[in-house]
Amino acid sequence: MLDGILIGLTTALSLQNLAFVMIGCLVGTFIGMLPGLGPMSAIALMIPIASTLDPAAGIILMAAVYYGAIFGGSTSSILINAPGVASTVATSFDGYPMAKSGKAGKALAIAAYSSFSGGVIAAIFLLLAAPYLASVSLAFQSTDYFALMVLGLVAVAAFAGSGGLVKALLMTVVGLMLSTVGTDQTQGVPRFTLGMLDLIDGISFLLLVMATFALSEALLAIMRTKGGDTDASRKQERDATRELGSMAVSKEEVREMVPVIGRSSVLGFIIGVLPGAGATIASFLAYGTEQRLAGAKKGKLFGKGSVRGLSAPETANNAAATGSFVPLLTLGIPGSGTTAIMLGALIGYGIQPGPRLYLDAPDVFWSVIVSMWIGNIVLLILNLPLIPYIARVLAIPSRFLLPLILFFSLIGVYFVSFNTFDIQLMVIFAVAAVTLRILDFPMAPMILGFILGGMMEENLRRALLINDNSWSFLWERPLTLSILVIAALVLIVPIVLPMLRKKKTEMQGD
């Protein structure tokens, strides 16, 4: 571990990588606080840049953008009650009432301190947990990897949201189908290309991500604005950015925050480690937990500007963002939709995330962990003095912001392949994504299915080859069977629990 930390420090503390940490944190903060955008869109926009860098620098940059977007997402939630990312929705419950009462500066400061603490504590957990998980996982074989891919795919229950589990599973199947387009890597035979030479190499990961997140988000925002910002919304933004108030936090408030930060960091990290859970679930769970622990008197303050109610979700979502790197780096399973995109980026570098990552690419493995400590310090330094100025970015009219997003999305994809067919295909996917999102179909499961599809197929073929085309490996190997049983439970429990609750309610009614 000490050797690994030294490797990580040497790599992360190079001038180039320090610059990328600062750039990523700054870009992530700005994108995260813009309503409607989030870490997925931010990382999608960074992929063309990261693809030109060496693997360690590229992943450090994208990781910095990720936790920077989570960190910065609290700004719009607090100032104008418009969460920049889904994981800061719970932040708005108490942050916005605090801002309305003339304490916007204090609310932003509490959010910054909580985010910093959650990120740093979770980075320590990551340092301690990741090597042990990796060493235990060294015994993994192709059969176990296949089971892990199945577990990763059925974990889409957490992505379901308002669309429901069935819609999430359908989108996962769509992602698996898209991953099969192109040339079969084993037999060298084109499949599902419709006779088009442009599809021989398959569908570009960057194209699909940019179309379904960045481009579709911009198109949806255009549909929502219906021609531009209203005078009322512009006035609300200007008023919010002017009335920041004092940023000082009293000793009593610090004493109240400390135990909340401790509990929420642990909870957030654990939730972040679970494949498919993510920062959004962690923030809501932390908020609900603290509301129950606050007692009757302080519990009534939740939703009215509670310090606990603001600190808990901000700590948890940053801890979860860091925790999601554990399954990504050690098992090759993304812990959230955003790390699913980063998984694709790692594979694009020719790096296979999983149990051997810390042996095969120690500079990438350890530098990402070390850069998180550095990144959280950078975020705190950036956010505290720049809060009054950063907040004014929210007043940029949509008529200027949205065309820029469209431009960079299209140009980013074109500069990778220099093929106009990719632009046409991207527009088709974007229109389809807009339609599906209007119908409440989640996009993250599709991306997860697209990324894991190729890996799943490869490991399944290898497992069948080793076992003479017999499917007995599914139950003969204890580790494989255990993972598949967990996957079955993950899939069945969300379906069975509501039925049991309904039956219990009916029995009580009788």
Among 25, 222, 20, which residue's Cα sits nearest to residue 112?
25
Mean pLDDT value across the chain:
77
Digit-coded pLDDT (tens) for 158-175: 445 444 778 888 888 898
Give residue 264's pLDDT. Answer: 92
- Residue ranges of domains in the chain: 2-509
219, 430 Cβ separation under 8 angstroms: yes
Digit-coded pLDDT (tens) for 329-350: 777 777 566 777 787 778 778 7
Categorize the per-residue pLDDT at 241 as very low, low, confident or very high, splitting at 50, 70 and 90. Answer: very low
Among 305, 306, 308, which residue's Cα sits nearest to residue 316?
308
Which range has the top average pLDDT, 87-91, 316-320, 457-461, 491-495?
A: 316-320
Residue with tokens 């590229």, as numbered in its chain = 58
Give residue 315's pLDDT. Answer: 92
How much of the chain, in percent, has pLDDT values that exceed 90? Answer: 2
Digit-coded pLDDT (tens) for 277-290: 567 777 877 887 88
User: Could you give the angle at the alpha carbon of 46 between the alpha carbons of 179 and 37, nearest 5°?
Assistant: 90
Q: Is the pLDDT of residue 326 over 60?
A: yes
Question: Under the phi-then-psi rule, with left for phi > 0, alpha for psi from -120 to 50, and beta for the rest, what region is 470?
Answer: beta
Q: Is the pLDDT of residue 84 over 60?
A: no
Which residues does residue 191 pair with via DSSP β-bridges, in sequence order? 182
Categorize the per-residue pLDDT at 362 as very low, low, confident or very high, splitting at 50, 70 and 90. Answer: confident
| Whole-number Å distance between alpha carbons of 235 and 164 | 37
Categorize the per-residue pLDDT at 247 as very low, low, confident or very high, splitting at 50, 70 and 90. Answer: low
Q: Is the pLDDT of residue 47 over 60?
A: yes
Categorize the per-residue pLDDT at 216 as very low, low, confident or very high, splitting at 50, 70 and 90. Answer: confident
Give residue 237's pLDDT. Answer: 46
User: Could you give the angle at the alpha carbon of 388 between the alpha carbons of 387 and 392, nearest 5°?
Assistant: 105
Digit-coded pLDDT (tens) for 130-167: 666 555 555 667 787 788 778 777 766 544 544 477 88
363, 66 Cβ separation under 8 angstroms: no
Radius of gyration of the chain (CA): 23
Categorize the per-residue pLDDT at 488 as very low, low, confident or very high, splitting at 50, 70 and 90. Answer: confident
User: Helix, strand or coil for residue 416?
Assistant: helix
Give residue 501's pLDDT. Answer: 74
Q: Is the pLDDT of residue 467 over 50?
A: yes
pLDDT, greater one: 480 or 448: 480
Q: Is the pLDDT of residue 240 over 70?
A: no
Pick from 118-132, 258-272, 291-305: least confident: 291-305
Give residue 242's pLDDT. Answer: 47
Which of the 8 DSSP states describes residue 219? H
> With the C-alpha atoms ordered 286, 287, 288, 290, is the resulting torsion angle positive or negative?
positive
| Whole-number Å distance between alpha carbons of 382 and 222 | 31
Categorize the per-residue pLDDT at 89 as very low, low, confident or very high, splitting at 50, 70 and 90. Answer: confident
223, 36 Cβ separation under 8 angstroms: no
| Whole-number Å distance between alpha carbons of 81 and 51 | 35
Over residues 435-452, the mean pLDDT reads 81
343, 353 Cβ separation under 8 angstroms: yes
Categorize the per-residue pLDDT at 208 as very low, low, confident or very high, splitting at 50, 70 and 90. Answer: confident
Over residues 191-202, the mean pLDDT reads 82
